């Protein structure tokens, strides 16, 4: 059968690893042009370099993020590796400054790859009392003069909202680039590139794909030089997303705003409900006035929502009781709320904080919820039944 154009409204999945070229001259031209690392090549050569299905999915993300370019990678971690490696040039680099409240996998990558293997000068900036002190940040940055500063808009699991607008302003005054992992906030709540950030990263495994069935990452930006360098790095280390995953992501991302806005609304209601429950000691959710960064969240996100993650701690008389309340809760809700170590799934899922973070967050009663887009009444009913049972048992 002959290849022919089909009147499909979608970009097909081009699984070719290599693309057919006409002759030696076309090949030479294509390879010469390839060194320019343009976002969408005139002639496709090899899928590890660029693939039309992947480029098409990237264009969908560019619309959502409102940016000049987006590059898809095989995971959030490979997006992080690509984004950071762009700043490594084989010479002595200025220090790289990371806020400490970032994804544990990123910290492990920094320690094991950037520090131990690549020998880079890594510095950390720590929050005080659940918030980042920007005067302290300005002092630190003026002394260190880092190449870039790396932040997550909403941290994990305490959901600290970083004042990205002011942080970016300060960094720019000192000639420091800004890289934001915006996975938890998503462009629905906030677009750091509009405030002058240089690179935005997402684990597309989470809200962009939104169904717990794709592992992917994306780097977004507006600066063409950064893009060319990122395309080059992604191609040489083979971080490019597969066409099958790109196709599925491009489909699933069409419902991103619907899903995420509903997840945010469910989370706001649930955080209020949990906050008034007598067997819960504390709830961390940036939309609660009691959260250290409520005002920053309000400033950054307006009325759109506060994300869809909630962390709470059981109020037991000692560690043993707290641990048993947590374990009991996990068991009681397990039909509807599964323990799955990820976030952004359609249904609400949970993670026991101490079991994952260990000594960093050792409170045994703490649970992190990734709130889904199920019917809210169903979600509250599952949780309230479990809490009432636990309350009856501990006789509060
Ligand atoms: N960034 C954040 C904020 C994350 O939570 C994660 C994973 O949980 C990652 C990056 C890494 O993403 P991936 O698991 O897709 O590599």
Q: What is the pLDDT of residues 28-86, one digit of tens each?
A: 999 999 999 999 999 999 999 999 999 999 999 999 999 999 999 999 999 999 999 99
* Ligand 1 center from residue 30 Cα (angstroms): 35
What pLDDT sits at residue 6? 86
For residues 256 and 248, give the distance between their C-alpha atoms in angstroms, rounded to a whole number: 13
* Ligand 1 center from residue 77 Cα (angstroms): 6
What pLDDT sits at residue 396? 45
What is the rounded average pLDDT for all residues in the chain? Answer: 96
**Average pLDDT of the segment spanning 145-158:** 97
For residues 15 and 200, give the distance between their C-alpha atoms in angstroms, rounded to a whole number: 28
Q: Under CATH, which architecture does the 256-391 domain have?
A: Alpha-Beta Complex (3.90)
CATH 3.40.640.10 range(s) for the chain read 24-253
What pLDDT sits at residue 169? 97
Our measurement of the distance from residue 239's CA atom to the centroid of its chain's CA atoms, rounded to an integer in Å, reads 17
Beta carbons of 186 and 202 less than 8 angstroms apart: yes
Q: What is the CA radius of gyration of the chain?
A: 23
For residues 275 and 42, give the distance between their C-alpha atoms in angstroms, rounded to a whole number: 56
Going by C-alpha positions, the residue among 83, 19, 24 that lies closest to residue 47 is: 19
Main-chain phi, psi angles of 373, to 5 degrees = -110, 25
Going by C-alpha positions, the residue among 211, 228, 237, 145 that lies closest to residue 344 is: 211
**Average pLDDT of the segment spanning 344-360:** 96
Tell me which residue has its CA closest to atom 4 in ligand 1: 103
CATH 3.90.1150.10 range(s) for the chain read 256-391
Q: For residue 376, count CB atoms less than 10 angstroms from its CB and return exposed for 0-12, middle for 13-18, buried for 19 or more.
A: middle
Locate the ligand 1 atom nearest the alpha carbon of residue 184 and give its number: 3
Domain 24-253 part of CATH 3.40.640.10: yes
Query: Does residue 255 surpass a pLDDT of 60?
Result: yes
Assign 129 a pLDDT band (cuts: 50, 70, 90): confident
Tell me which residue has its CA closest to atom 14 in ligand 1: 76
Q: Tokens at residue 177, please?
A: 């680039």
Ligand 1 pocket mutation pick from 156, 200, 201, 205 by most atoms within 8 angstroms of CB: 205
Residue matched to tokens 């990452």: 217
Query: What is residue 203's three-state secondary structure?
Result: strand
Going by C-alpha positions, the residue among 313, 222, 228, 301 that lies closest to residue 260 is: 301
Q: Who lines ligand 1 at CB under 6 A? A: 75-77, 103, 105, 152, 156, 181, 183-184, 203, 205, 215, 217
């Amino acid at each position: 059968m002959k290849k022919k154009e089909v009147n499909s409204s979608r970009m097909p999945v081009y699984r070719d690893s290599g693309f057919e070229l006409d002759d030696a001259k076309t090949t030479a031209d294509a390879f010469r042009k390839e060194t320019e690392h343009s976002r969408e090549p005139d002639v496709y050569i090899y899928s590890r370099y660029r693939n039309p299905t992947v480029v098409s999915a990237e264009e969908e993300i560019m619309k959502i993020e409102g940016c000049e370019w987006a590059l898809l990678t095989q995971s959030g971690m490979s997006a992080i590796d690509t984004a950071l490696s762009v700043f490594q040039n084989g010479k002595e680099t200025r220090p790289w400054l990371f806020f400490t409240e970032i994804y544990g996998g990123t910290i492990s990558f920094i320690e094991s790859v950037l520090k131990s293997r690549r020998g880079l000068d890594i510095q950390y900036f720590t929050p005080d009392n659940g918030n980042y002190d920007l005067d302290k940040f300005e002092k630190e940055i003026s002394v260190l003069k880092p190449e870039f500063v790396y932040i997550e808009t909403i941290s994990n699991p305490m959901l600290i909202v970083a004042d990205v607008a002011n942080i970016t302003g300060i960094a720019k005054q000192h000639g420091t680039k800004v890289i934001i992992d915006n996975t938890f906030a998503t462009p629905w709540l906030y677009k750091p590139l509009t405030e002058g950030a240089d690179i935005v990263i997402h684990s597309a495994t989470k809200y962009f794909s939104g169904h717990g069935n794709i592992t992917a990452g994306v780097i977004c930006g507006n600066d063409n030089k950064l893009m060319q360098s990122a395309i080059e790095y992604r191609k040489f280390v083979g971080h490019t997303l597969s066409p099958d995953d790109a196709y599925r992501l491009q489909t699933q991302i069409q419902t991103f705003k619907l899903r995420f806005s509903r997840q945010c609304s469910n989370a706001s209601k649930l955080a209020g409900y949990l906050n008034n429950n007598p067997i819960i000691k504390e709830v961390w959710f940036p939309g609660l006035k009691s959260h250290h960064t409520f005002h920053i969240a309000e400033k950054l996100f307006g009325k759109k929502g506060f994300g869809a993650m909630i962390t709470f701690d059981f109020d037991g008389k000692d560690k043993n009781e707290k641990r048993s309340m947590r374990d009991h809760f996990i068991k009681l809700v397990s039909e509807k709320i599964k323990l799955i170590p990820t976030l952004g799934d359609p249904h609400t899922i949970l993670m026991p904080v101490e079991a994952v973070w260990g000594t960093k967050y050792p409170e045994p009663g703490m649970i992190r919820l990734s709130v889904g887009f199920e019917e809210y009444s169903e979600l509250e009913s599952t949780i309230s039944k479990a809490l009432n049972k636990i309350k009856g048992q501990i006789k509060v």
